[in-house]
Amino acid sequence: MATVCTLAWVHGLVQGVGFRYSTQREGLKLGLTGYARNMDDGSVEVLACGEAEQVEKLVAWLKAGGPRSARVDKVLTEPHQPDRQWKDFSIRY
């Protein structure tokens, strides 16, 4: 299977509610690599790499609202060609 990468920006009440940790847990469960990190504008950036079907499952989870404590208003995505390989799914600061 070919590896695909998707970059997503999640907007809403997504900082300070465990969003990155829940996203990391979901990404690892799906066998993905990449990261989740808070952005200065209050959004969370998520890079997900792996089998296309698994990446789509994570994007669907993000669009469905992520963890219960979060409120997702919108999710923007675009295909991405990373300049490095990710070994796991991490939280970046």
Q: How far apart are CA 78 and CA 6, in angstroms?
A: 6
Each residue's pLDDT tens digit, 30-83: 999 999 999 999 999 999 999 999 999 999 999 999 988 999 999 999 999 988
In the chain, where the domains are located: 3-81
Active site residues: 20, 38
Decide: 76 and 20 in contact? Cβ < 8 Å: no
Enter the pTM of the model: 0.95
Q: Does domain 3-81 have CATH number 3.40.50.1860?
A: no
Q: How confident is the model at residue 93 (pLDDT cuts 50, 70, 90)?
A: confident
Burial of residue 59 (CB within 10 Å: 0-12, 13-18, 19+) is: middle
**pLDDT confidence of residue 12:** 97
